[in-house]
Structure 1
């Protein structure tokens, strides 16, 4: 067998390697493309009161298979890729100079990474010149939720992004800027550009907004127009069927210092007993001053009275007389007294019997506690004597 020259073999292998590097590998790259991330961040606005820059973000990932998501190193939520592409909003703290993107596949394996320089941003927002009403107002179920500047400053970046997603994509939201005596309101989507409106009652009516808001961080309601604190008044009735309470003025929220009149109105067959809670007393009408959230209860009781019978004869008190009244029976004591309690109002019949006395009956109009004086008459009998024969009858 003829053996090849080793030197010739090495030369052949070298030539083959050069051929692969020069011709085959470039063809592979041309076929699949070089792995790359083409990302663009276009500054759209600065949300200065939050210290946030907003960008329009787009990305195109090529040259890799199964590119599923792109992640950011600044805390922004990841963005799903479709065909290696995506468009979304991107938020960063004002002054952030660059952001690093990481592309991962559906198994969370890192495929590519790239650092992109962001357009330079700098806040010109003068926090010191802003008054208390400045902040973000989110309309939820007809109520405005207020995020003050202090509240926003204490949020983490992730919390701010979560709020931004809510105010942009979920709920109608507004920005109010107050400087000195002047205050303006924007739809959040247009802030800080025009149109902006003077913060007045007419503006709120036009926008369909209430003139109060709940400060989510500080707690408590306030009037958007004048900044005064608002307090909640809760009036309960116990029991519910016992009656009602007239509230004047009848509102849900009251400005600090407002005087509110509460008047109890018992239902038929009930009596007002007392106020309990933040307002106390037994007067049917009271006036409270709203200087905090208050809860008070009007307590009612069934209209019930006591009826006391005093039974006597010509000689004095009668003990042991049977008094029947309102379905109950009592015997008089040594003082001739019989007491009945928890008697409903109305006309009630009574009957009194005692051996040796005439029976007595009548009625009592029960509309308050009553005392009934009864004088019994001795029962009289006719005695007929028949005499037969002679004799004497002595009386």
Structure 2
């Protein structure tokens, strides 16, 4: 679940479950109750500015009212007024330092806006002030999202391997950390900039502990004599080779460890377009034999590192272009097929027959462009697809590096079309987006309306964060690395030459759906843990604020005066006072 959804869900549930637990005499008066009801009603109508006015007026009467204060924070959150969200929740902590809902919500806001260290510290402070199931769960979730990492998955013996504490696999945590070597032999050291290193002394396993106050993390690392850090492939001492069909070239690969010393490696070889064959020599090198004209990329891979060399195969310098037609229409090719050579720019123009329309190019060039312009780097085979006018349209795109296979290019209304996502080398299929969603590589689409489908691919070594979130509590939100932005960040590279993804981003219907989805996600962001609220309702854990309600009300006004007021809130309160 998206991190925005987690925080809002938790807050909404707590507002529902504990709204009746606060029973100040003033708050139960008809006027005060009406203020709170109006604030909630305006929030549901997405009139956040007006809901804030009523929340503030209600809190002037009862500053310790938990649902009203969380509701005010939620309204500020929807407007992305992060400073006011923080100010509102800090006031709640000052009023009721043992109320865990304030700590949980504030930590979630910090995580969402990329203030990771402040979020962790808030949870540690809250756990020290308020022992509850929700705080314990939040601490467990933080432990799951933190990890001890080095530059590589393994450590090199007698070498300074950097150590760091990382949040969500991509953000280094800058806090006061106590490091301990629990198992194995080694020494810690620091450089002038304060970077921590571990120098293992023996091959085997070492166990490292990182402690932040009451939070402790542990990680095991394998120590090897050498750790591969660089891979270099060469073809007879050249980075690029020009050759003819039938010729051979010897390929060699060299590995370097973290100390830049050479090391023995056994890589895996692969060909991008399979324009030739690879065979191993007696010396352990590899021999590439050119069989077809074009540009070939030869890649060696070892320990998640890759290196490649490019080979240009001239042959007779002629390339072949084949095109097929599905449906009714014609295709013209310029220049003439007899004149096509490597590097030639060609133009394919599809002309639909009467009653038909062009639906796109499929095969080795997938595109909706018509005419289609291609620079030849080898033989090319494409299919021009035409569909009958008045039938439903199916547009297919990719996000990332891969392609989509379609079992049929011609169909009538009500037919079922099967799509299969095929990732390129080094990529993996993630999911389908668009009219029909799913995570299976093959998916069926019933042509009962227009459909737009996008196959999403990601690099194999990268984890898609949005798919790793779990729905277990307020802290399970993807941490944004942009501080204070409030928006989700991230980008994807469009694979291949397909422009379908570009057209998808300009689809006005998709934009409206995205806008509604973002608004819904915001409503589900600042929400403390559901179990926390159930405990309060069932009486398993008495809410500290309930037993001290009257005392909090008496002391609340004095505490509010001690806090630095938000300028906009102060002006609003003064204006209401004059009225």
Please state which band the TM-score falls in when normalised by the shorter chain. Answer: under 0.3
Larger RCO (CA within 8 A; separation ≥ 6): 2
Please identify which structure carries the higher helix content: 2
Taking structure 1 as the reference length, the TM-score comes to 0.21
Q: TM-score, normalised by structure 2?
A: 0.15
Higher Rg: 1
Structure with greater strand share of residues: 1
